[in-house]
Chains A and B, each alone.
Chain A
Amino acid sequence: DTGVSQNPRHKITKRGQNVTFRCDPISGHVSLYWYRQALGQGPEFLTYFQNEAQLEKSRLLSDRFSAERPKGSFSTLEIQRTEQGDSAMYLCASSLEAFSNTGELFFGEGSRLTVL
């Protein structure tokens, strides 16, 4: 399977715990995006990487959220001190080009977070 891979697919945690999600983009894709999607809503942008550089961060990304993409390969999204409002699907997407506004985003299957 050469698509975008995300792990874990489901995570249930207690409030206050830390969680980490991993995304493996399509090989050779320069751009990597993280979005959050609440039930019944569209994806909301969180952060964007071009190779290893984090170039854009949404104001939604509070100081409890951190993301990295070491060596421009896989990416991780960590949420510290989780809150119930963090419960959502976390989607990773990649695209071939950098700074392209015409490129298709390829999404992974998502990581669903439930905070109890």
Chain B
Amino acid sequence: QKEVEQNSGPLSVPEGAIASLNCTYSDRGSQSFFWYRQYSGKSPELIMSIYSNGDKEDGRFTAQLNKASQYVSLLIRDSQPSDSATYLCAVNTRGSYIPTFGRGTSLIVHP
């Protein structure tokens, strides 16, 4: 079992819809969780971080963490074509300061 699992997609949503991206992780002691966005041919950039159970909102983005179920999700409200990218989930497992990345989910927002 991989440490960080994501569905590779693509996830296709219409403009204005809510896009829901999911990630599961294997180490129950993981403490830090990140979502990076990576446009095609570009490098990853951090868009959200979350450390405790519950929701964290930043503009159109909401990160949700459920440590009991070992999943973290990212919701993008009012999706725009410019949100089309690969979204990488990254997790700092127990005792580590080195993020482990999932394979990423490709999101396509069509007009």
CA distance A73 to B65 in the complex (A): 36
- Collect the chain B residues with CB atoms within 8 Å of residue A103's CB: 97
Is B81 among interface residues, defined by CB-CB distance under 8 A? no
Known contacts A40-B103, A41-B103, A48-B98: does B43 contact A104 (CB below 8 Å)? no
Is A25 among interface residues, defined by CB-CB distance under 8 A? no
- Collect the chain A residues with CB atoms within 8 Å of residue B46's CB: 104-105
Sort chain A's interface into a size bin. 20 to 34
Is A45 among interface residues, defined by CB-CB distance under 8 A? yes
- Collect the chain A residues with CB atoms within 8 Å of residue B8's CB: 40
CA distance A35 to B101 in the complex (A): 10
Known contacts A107-B43, A109-B42: does B102 contact A42 (CB below 8 Å)? yes
Chain B 85-111 interface mask (CB, 8 Å, partner A; 1/0): 000100010001111111110000000
CA distance A99 to B46 in the complex (A): 18
In the bound complex, do residue B42 and residue A56 qualify as a contact, i.e. CB atoms below 8 Å apart?
no
Is A62 among interface residues, defined by CB-CB distance under 8 A? no
Is A102 among interface residues, defined by CB-CB distance under 8 A? yes
Given contacts A43-B44, A101-B97, A107-B45, 10 further A-B contacts (CB under 8 A): A42-B4, A42-B88, A42-B104, A43-B88, A44-B101, A45-B100, A91-B43, A101-B92, A105-B99, A110-B43
